[in-house]
A and B are shown apart, each in its own frame.
Chain A
Amino acid sequence: NAGVTQTPKFQVLKTGQSMTLQCAQDMNHEYMSWYRQDPGMGLRLIHYSVGAGITDQGEVPNGYNVSRSTTEDFPLRLLSAAPSQTSVYFCASTRSMGAPGNTIYFGEGSWLTVV
């Protein structure tokens, strides 16, 4: 049982390039989220999804796109990378509320540097 898998773990991009951070979970969780972590800022919600085909914006969505075509995958796309998007990105998944023993599973993080 792999849990939440994020790839790549490290990436260096040039300003203006696009890329996709992959997130996959094998627990059949309905809810998935992307956060970014910046020094002194804690983790902030970028986008989230409550099921296949349903996504919504979080606190800091600008410059990012998401889609949820399957329950398992929730990729995060950087359309035109900017130095301000240098950050550590975490993907999370959880069951919908009401499920017994519900908890949140985080990926190991993806370190992204935009130069």
Chain B
Amino acid sequence: AQKVTQAQTEISVVEKEDVTLDCVYETRDTTYYLFWYKQPPSGELVFLIRRNSFDEQNEISGRYSWNFQKSTSSFNFTITASQVVDSAVYFCALSPATGFQKLVFGTGTRLLVSP
């Protein structure tokens, strides 16, 4: 069975601090996909990144970066110089390679960035 664990329920930081959101996953598949989504207070799900299990390169997109380590089954997400607009719930999700119709989500991490 597949499982995603986001152990951090809520994180509070002050603006401009760096913050890392942890994601640990379990799967028996050799090929799979990992995702991060942002859910702002308005409720919609905003896609941030998708990573194939064969691609362990770290990725940076502006203030966002992701560290994928298969050896520890982790796909952590770092926000550099956080801003108030980053306040949201962030979800890590796992999908089998057979299709994206069966995502397994973590329970989410609520990030509160105060001015």
Q: At the interface, yes or no: A2 with Cβ under 8 Å from chain B?
A: no
Q: Are B47 and A50 in contact (CB under 8 A)?
A: no
B78 CB → nearest A CB, Å: 21
Q: At the interface, yes or no: A1 with Cβ under 8 Å from chain B?
A: no
Interface string of B42-76 (1 = CB under 8 A from A): 01110100100000000000000000000000000
In the complex, chain A residues whose CB is within 8 Å of the CB of B97: 97
Q: How many pairs of A and B residues are in contact by the CB < 8 Å rule?
A: 60
Q: How many A residues, CB 8 Å from partner?
A: 26
Interface string of B68-109 (1 = CB under 8 A from A): 000000000000000000000001010001111111111110
CA distance A102 to B99 in the complex (A): 10
Q: How many B residues, CB 8 Å from partner?
A: 23
In the complex, chain B residues whose CB is within 8 Å of the CB of A97: 97-100
In the complex, chain B residues whose CB is within 8 Å of the CB of A40: 9, 107
B16 CB → nearest A CB, Å: 29
Binding site for A on B (CB under 8 A): 4, 6, 9, 35, 43-45, 47, 50, 91, 93, 97-108
Pairs of residues from A and B, 3 with the lowest C-beta to C-beta distance, nearest first: A31-B101, A42-B105, A94-B100
